Structure 1
Amino acid sequence: MYIEDKLTSGTCDTPLDLLCKLVRIESCDPPGREIEVARSLEAELIRAGVQVELDEFAPGRANLLARLPGAGTKPPLVFSAHLDTVPVGTTGWTEEPFGGHIRDGRLYGRGASDMKSGVVAMTAALLEIAATGTPLTGDLLLAFSAGESSNCLGAKRFVERRTFAEAGAILVSEPSSLELIIAEMGVLWLRATAFGRVGHVSGDGGDNAIMKMVSILPQIQSVPLPCTDHPLLPEPTIRIGTIHGGAAVNVTPDRCFVDIDVRIHPGTAPSEILDLLEPLGLDLEILDFKPSVETAIDHPFTQTCLQACAANRSQAPRISGVAYYSDATIYTSAFETPFVIIGPGELGMSGQTDEFVEIEKFNQAIAIYRAIAESYLK
């Protein structure tokens, strides 16, 4: 009841209050509407005297940047997260998707894991440092983006504005179960088109482009992708995501295309994948490319994060890589900034019904983020 009263009054005295409040704000992408989440955070930061900028770069879509100034003798440390969530979906929830309810040590709701718990934990860590007056050698930034699910729109906006081009390191609070993630697969999206000849089914029938494509699909799936013996990343994959063709049931389609998702290792260029697919006789178009990014295990920032996790958890964290991409690939590929992902949310929870975050991990994340900032910027 305490949390219910606080949310009704509009005040958030604890990080858990704020997390409940943000989970109750719908920010599913599409359409986004992250600005309401950003405004709630802005109010909390301003109340604490923290410098904050809200950038509404499209109607209802806003990035938030907060800055806790340091001495300026070391490059800034960026705490990165996104404000949008994936849609609720059509399958049944047993918990209210935007209820922010707590039961058995878990907080439930869309975005609880991915990644409003990370957003609030990072905010709470910065506010704790600000309240204690801990001296920092460099600025501590909160960079919260809109539209991560829309091909990292907000992250690209930060890059365009070169908001933190001089940052020394970036900590991302994507769900990781408080384990360390230091490598992401590269992502190549392709459109492959097969052509035929239009015709009416009552006549000669034409040349069916859909049937051509269907016969080629197994060959696309079995293309031998370049694979390195990477110690952290899974094997490369190639998968068909969508297929489109035909204008009417009684007209032979003269065009059919599929969109292809390819996950690749560091060092693999898009041209290598195009060369592998070229013999199939399809028209190939690159829709998007995000290179694989990684930070070395022995990098000082990785070690700082590792030590902070170990000091604030009962077990040593694992170090791994992931097949997904995050805003980190946008920032690191643009500015060559080292990154580490540590988040209180659960791996594999994104997009699931009855999404939750464990409150114990949420509280641990606050302590970990504070320890990382105070160590890195000491």
Structure 2
Amino acid sequence: MATIDARAATKGKHHFEPIRFLQQIVAIDSCDPPGGEIEIARLVHRELLALGIESELDEFLPGRGNVLGRIRGTGEKAALVLSSHMDTVPVGTVPWQRWPFSGEVENGRLYGRGASDMKSALAAMIAAAGKLAAEPSIKLRGDVILAFTAGESANLLGARRFAERGLKKEIGAFLCGEPSDLDVVIVEKAALWLRATATGRLGHVSGEAGVNAIDLIHEFLTSLTALDLDCPEHALLDAPTVRVGRIQGGSAVNVTPDHCAVDFDIRLHPGVDHKEIVAKVEKLAPTGVNITVLDFKPAVESKREDAFVELCVDVCARHRNQTPEIKGVSYYSDGTVLLEGLSVPFAIIGPGSLGLSGQPDEFVSIENVLKAVDIYQDVTRAWLS
């Protein structure tokens, strides 16, 4: 583990081009697993310093690093956090028409893994911060904190690292750049990850049959379809979901498997007690199947009438020449860790498109990226000055 701490920002003018930088970081494979975001983190760190912004690069695991940028305010108001992550989901097995790390630009779109989710927001936030830092006449009443993380896509490693280091104590408002089509997202579902493990008994087709662990898991998954999640309806969210993501079992085709495990994802509305859901799942499990909790990521929600949400809506409307939609999403963000237990305003505004995460030929609208730069800058200026 190594930590590089550079708090003294460089002086002088530096021209940051968000689209060119986006091409540069899309060309870097930071799929999680295994992550390896450190190359991007170093580039981000260097750009922030060149823009005159304080920056700290924290390589908290080999190849995994966070970047914390800061524009200091007067301290009269709690900080506004701009949140993006530097990792992406894997490329997948479906063929792409373009090289996944090309950063190719065509017909107003930039293509590549992470273009939408969410390296485009990362580039736009750096550009917005650079413009704010270049305006010495603006007096910000609170700090602008750029919280750029590793390992968001699976286990929120970077956000947990920030939490360990005390970032939560500084947060007064939280603006995340996850994909939203430049609409304003104010609620995300909770994510409950469970593992069902079946223990059987070895057997063979020529003798004692044993107890088939895969059959036990099949029985469990069949009963799981009857799970009653009993979530209250939410105006901005679709129904709760149960999705199987991974299954593993057996050692040889002619040997009765004595072990099988399945990992599954349950998405829940705000306010649902996830422990009650775990208890319901356990009741469905047949003898020989054990349920364990892999992770729980709480829901995050702001009220439509919050002043910060109203500000985000007004700024987006001005730059888009139309009123943005207020939305809820099924994905989670770094906010699930960094805002847990806090009562601070939260919103997601991202240039990426909902539904493109994890898809082949992922892209982002260049126009959206450039609008996001102005939106992030104006929201920050209005909230803190």
TM over 0.5, shorter chain: yes
Look up the equivalent residue of 1:296 and give its one-letter code: K
Gaps of 5+ in 2: 1-13
Contact 1:165 1:335 in 2 (8 A): no
Inter-partner Cα distance in structure 2 for 1:140 and 1:341: 16
Q: In the alignment, which residue of structure 2 is the partner of 1:332?
A: 339
Inter-partner Cα distance in structure 2 for 1:35 and 1:334: 29
Please say if 1:279 is aligned against 2:279: no
Q: In the alignment, which residue of structure 2 is the partner of 1:52?
A: 55
Q: In the alignment, which residue of structure 2 is the partner of 1:208?
A: 212
- Residue 172 of structure 2 is aligned with which of 168, 172, 178? 168
Inter-partner Cα distance in structure 2 for 1:187 and 1:204: 41
Q: In the alignment, which residue of structure 1 is the partner of 2:70?
A: 67
Please say if 1:356 is aligned against 2:347: no
Look up the equivalent residue of 1:177 and give its one-letter code: D
Distance 1:136 1:185, change over 3 A: same
Inter-partner Cα distance in structure 2 for 1:238 and 1:89: 21
Inter-partner Cα distance in structure 2 for 1:310 and 1:53: 34
Distance 1:33 1:239, change over 3 A: closer
Q: In the alignment, which residue of structure 1 is the partner of 2:251?
A: 247
3-state DSSP class of the match of 2:292? strand
Cα deviation 1:216-266 (Å, max 9, x = unaligned): 322112211121121111111122222222233333223333222111111
- Residue 22 of structure 1 is aligned with which of 12, 25, 45? 25
- Residue 263 of structure 1 is aligned with which of 248, 260, 267? 267
Distance 1:275 1:91, change over 3 A: closer
Please say if 1:298 is aligned against 2:302: no
- Residue 296 of structure 2 is aligned with which of 289, 306, 312? 289
Residue range with higher mean Cα deviation, 78-87 or 185-194: 185-194
Look up the equivalent residue of 2:276 and give its one-letter code: E
Residue range with higher mean Cα deviation, 299-308 or 245-254: 245-254
Inter-partner Cα distance in structure 1 for 2:99 and 2:253: 42
Inter-partner Cα distance in structure 1 for 2:271 and 2:189: 11
Residue range with higher mean Cα deviation, 58-67 or 102-111: 102-111
Contact 1:344 1:365 in 2 (8 A): yes
In the TM superposition, residue 191 of structure 1 has moved relative to its aligned partner by: 1.4
**What is the correspondence of 1:120-135 to structure 2 with a 5 Å cutoff?**
120-133=123-136, 134-135=138-139
Give me the identity figure in percent. 51
Residue range with higher mean Cα deviation, 274-283 or 54-63: 274-283
Distance 1:248 1:129, change over 3 A: same
Cα deviation 1:94-125 (Å, max 9, x = unaligned): 22322222211111222211111100111111
Look up the equivalent residue of 1:79 and give its one-letter code: L
Q: In the alignment, which residue of structure 1 is the partner of 2:6?
A: none
Look up the equivalent residue of 2:161 and give its one-letter code: R
Please say if 1:90 is aligned against 2:97: no
Q: In the alignment, which residue of structure 1 is the partner of 2:156?
A: 152
Q: In the alignment, which residue of structure 2 is the partner of 1:104?
A: 107
Distance 1:193 1:300, change over 3 A: same
In the TM superposition, residue 186 of structure 1 has moved relative to its aligned partner by: 0.8
In the TM superposition, residue 334 of structure 1 has moved relative to its aligned partner by: 4.7
Q: In the alignment, which residue of structure 1 is the partner of 2:203?
A: 199
Inter-partner Cα distance in structure 1 for 2:360 and 2:215: 37
3-state DSSP class of the match of 1:132? coil
3-state DSSP class of the match of 1:21? helix
Inter-partner Cα distance in structure 2 for 1:90 and 1:279: 36
Supply the RMSD in Å over aligned alpha carbons.
Answer: 1.7
Gaps of 5+ in 1: 1-10
Give the TM-score, by structure 1 length: 0.93
Q: In the alignment, which residue of structure 1 is the partner of 2:8?
A: none
Residue range with higher mean Cα deviation, 186-195 or 173-182: 186-195
Contact 1:221 1:239 in 2 (8 A): no
Distance 1:198 1:338, change over 3 A: same
Distance 1:25 1:256, change over 3 A: closer
